[in-house]
Chain A
Amino acid sequence: MKKIFALLFFCFVLISCKNDDDNIDCCSQPIVTDVTFTFSHNWEDTEVTENDFNTMQYINANGEVLTIARIRYLLSRFELVNTNGESFPLTGYKLIDLSNPESFTFNTTISDGTLYPGLYTLKFVYGFNEEDNIDGAYPDLNSASWNWPAMLGGGYHFLQFDGMYNVDTTSSPFNYHNGTARISDGNYEQNFVSFEFFPEVEINYNTTIEIKMDISEFFKNPITWDLNQYNTPLMPNYDAQKMMQQNVGSVFSIGQITQE
């Protein structure tokens, strides 16, 4: 009787000590729950940080000497696509501010589907697509004064890039701001850019993917940007908005991928 009672007691202790984390099916493959992105910024091969703002001079493709005062940009709709074409959207969007290094990291979860380790194509959207670009809908972006004027179609900025050009002669401001393009009053055109990167990247349980921004590309490819002609104001300028959209296409690339 004593032995039976003691056995029952130890069973009770063992059951009460059971950790919920142990509740894993040992026979199924673990799934990937989240991915981390980091954001780095350079002018061609030179890293750009807030410490370079207002002082470091850069020469763009058109030969203008410029300084940078502010860069903020929005990326959304991060997505992984496996080799069978199945899509796994990631949660949320990210506003990156070069003045705030805390914004250079974005940990996001798989919002739909079961994702196993493997090779995936990375996609994201520069700015918001038309479905997401809802005027005033995002309190965090409103609080950051990231809104795009209603008279220009509303929604949000995709990019705010401010600086001075011709700083070697007669320094003047430029405001390279990008968002919805206004064709005419009440007539607007989407202006986001969808990125898809090849080759596929390996996604594992603790994958970090570096997204690199080459700032010089805003002025270079395919359109050689003339700051003497296009400086400010550019938000209501349809041609400038569509040229920005074209040049953004070569700004982003994938950097280091780490599995830790």
Chain B
Amino acid sequence: MKKWLIYSVLCICLSCSNEPTDADTDAYVPTPSPLEIPELFENLIIAPVLPIDNPQTVEGIALGKKLFFDPILSADNTQACASCHAPQNAFTDSTRFSIGIDGIAGNRNSMPLFNMAWNYDELFFWDGRAFSLEHQAIEPVTNPIEMHNTWDVVVSRLQQNDEYPQLFEAAFGDQTITKELATKAIAQFERTLISANSKFDRYLLGDATLTQQEQNGLNVFMDENRGDCFHCHGNPNNPLWTDNIFHNNGLDATFSDLGLGEVSGDPADNGKFKSPSLRNLAFSAPYMHDGRFNTLDEVINHYSEGLVDSPTIDPLMKKVDEGGVHLTPQDKSDLKAFLLSLSDPSFINNPDFQN
């Protein structure tokens, strides 16, 4: 009877134990580096999307940054992510179409990169074909008109490199390199590319004053009778300045590039592309998915007089039968001044984002 009682008590004690095992305590944990959420974002919009299987860490971000700027990813070791996503251009390309390693041009302007953790639907590229930042980072390496490489080659090169195995071990606790870990690291770095210090941001925080022209431009932006920009491009309470949704904004009557329609297979999506953020327009020319407009004036003129009807045009493109709402020259000038107040020089000059 006594033995039976002793065994029972031991069993209960063991089953109630929550103590970590040796294996648990030995597991390597890189240094957490939580995303620094800007005050304005914290106050106004919901939390960023951070995958639980890829937490931000000091070592992961550092590795991602090194990979982002390293031409080792391309087949001939000539192009890095940063070649088409340059910091001084708000991480886009100043040329209309980026030229890949074989001298072949793409058919879209590279997207600027910032505030991507707040893309709540996690659909990336102009046509939304990649779900999650990690998956997005896979494609440019293998795209035949971009880096034109294979991930097998990239992984092999990284594995044989003098530095990378140690950096992967520091970031993920494993010297064995995979494309999944490489893109996780790149995604961690990209999530740190946060822009929230424009003049207009500081105005919202009470630290700056808008000029009369900028204030007038905000009114044009928010006026359904005039600019009506806010339905797709945010507003002072949504400082992302994009809805991250896909629209046909009246660029063409027929489509050589189907955009979202190519991805979904639904003809109703033909000619739809993701609304880009209006932040950092001062640095991110040319504009539109195909970079057809070199200046902000051209963009404003498009919405004012240049709208073209098509079967999938978004009904938010008002007065399309008249080409647009026909803003006055003063309204156009004011709108441009306001839009430029959304640019953030501290973002493109942030030393953490430079090679």
Residues of A at the B interface (CB closer than 8 Å) are 2, 5-6, 9, 13, 16, 53-55, 69-70, 135-136, 139-140, 142-143, 145, 147, 149-151, 160, 162-164, 170-175, 177, 232-236
Contact = CB atoms under 8 A, between A and B. Distances in A.
Nearest to A2: B1
Contacts of B236: 136, 150
A136 B204 CA distance: 12
Given A136-B44, A164-B315, A236-B223, A172 B321 contact: yes
Contacts of B8: 9
Interface in B293-348: 309, 311-321
A97 to B, nearest CB: 10
Nearest to A157: B231
B315 A150 contact: no
Nearest to B269: A54
Contacts of B224: 149, 175, 177, 232-236
Contacts of A160: 231
B225 interface: yes
Contacts of B238: 142-143, 145, 147
**Interface range, B side:** 35 or more
26 contacts: A9-B5, A54-B268, A54-B311, A135-B237, A139-B45, A139-B46, A142-B45, A142-B237, A143-B118, A143-B240, A145-B232, A145-B238, A145-B243, A149-B230, A151-B222, A162-B315, A172-B321, A173-B313, A174-B315, A175-B224, A175-B318, A233-B225, A233-B228, A233-B318, A234-B224, A236-B223
A69 B313 CA distance: 10
Nearest to A164: B315
Nearest 6 pairs of A and B residues by beta carbon: A173-B315, A233-B224, A136-B237, A162-B315, A149-B222, A235-B224
Contacts of A6: 1, 5
B92 to A, nearest CB: 23
Contacts of A16: 12
Contacts of B46: 139-140, 143
A51 to B, nearest CB: 9
Tell me what chain A mostly uses at the interface: helix, strand, loop, or mixed: mixed
A151 B231 contact: no
B255 interface: no
A54 B270 CA distance: 12
B115 to A, nearest CB: 12
Contacts of B231: 145, 160
B131 interface: no
A125 B78 CA distance: 60
A160 B316 CA distance: 11
B213 to A, nearest CB: 17
Contacts of B228: 233
Contacts of B268: 53-55
Contacts of A9: 5, 8
B191 to A, nearest CB: 17
A145 B234 contact: yes
B178 interface: no
